[in-house]
Amino acid sequence: MITLTEEPFDPGALLSEFSKGRSEVGAVATFTGLARAEAGGTTILELEAYPGFTEAAIGQIADEARARFELDDLMIRHRIGKIAPGEAIVFVATAARHRRAAFEACDFLMDYLKSRAPFWKKAHGPDGEHWIEPRAEDHRDIARWDEETPQ
């Protein structure tokens, strides 16, 4: 399930919900991205999505993850709007019969979400506001999946 929300969420509550009643699954991996305070440099992060378009784009990558890895299920929750330091920005959970598939699918989805997903991100701090571009590291991370043969 893919959800964009303006409301703060607790990643733990999502993991409880996601892992409940899975008696044939074995492996659940999650990743939570938290807004960083940058030692006071950022007070508020603002994330903009294109409603409909953004969910559809993430949905395509979720389908690609399902095709590449042997997954039983996945969940993606993404904050939009204004986010305070320490709050969760993104939560991804993957369930699979085997540990490696769960980890790799979660990693794959996060690399996409952090570098190519249709969001625009602004930092508001004491020195004003500025738009943020993906880091070089995010571009390198996503490039790892292009080099590999599909599994």
Partner 1 sequence: MARVLLFGPLRDLAGWRERDGIEAASIGALKALLAKEDARLGAALSGPGVQVALDQAIVRGDQPIGPRAEVAFLPPMSGG
Summarize as ranges the residues that interact with a copy of itself (CB under 8 A). 10-19, 21-39, 85-86, 88, 97-100, 102-103, 106-107, 110, 114, 137, 141
The interface with partner 1 within residues 91-130 (CB under 8 A) comprises 113-122
> Which range touches partner 1 (CB under 8 A), out of 15-23, 48-56, 59-67, 98-106?
48-56
CB atoms within 10 A of CB 23: 5
Question: Angle at the Cα of 148 (from 147 to 151), degrees rounded to 5?
Answer: 155
What phi, psi does 80 have (nearest 5°)?
Answer: -130, 170
- C-alpha–C-alpha distance, residues 2 and 74, integer Å: 9
Give the nearest distance from C-beta 52 to a copy of itself in angstroms. Answer: 27
Classify residue 69 as exposed, middle or buried by CB count within 10 Å of its CB (0-12, 13-18, 19+).
Answer: buried
138 binds partner 1 (CB under 8 A): yes
- The site for partner 1 (CB under 8 A) is made up of 33, 47-48, 50, 52-53, 56, 78, 89-90, 113-122, 131-134, 138
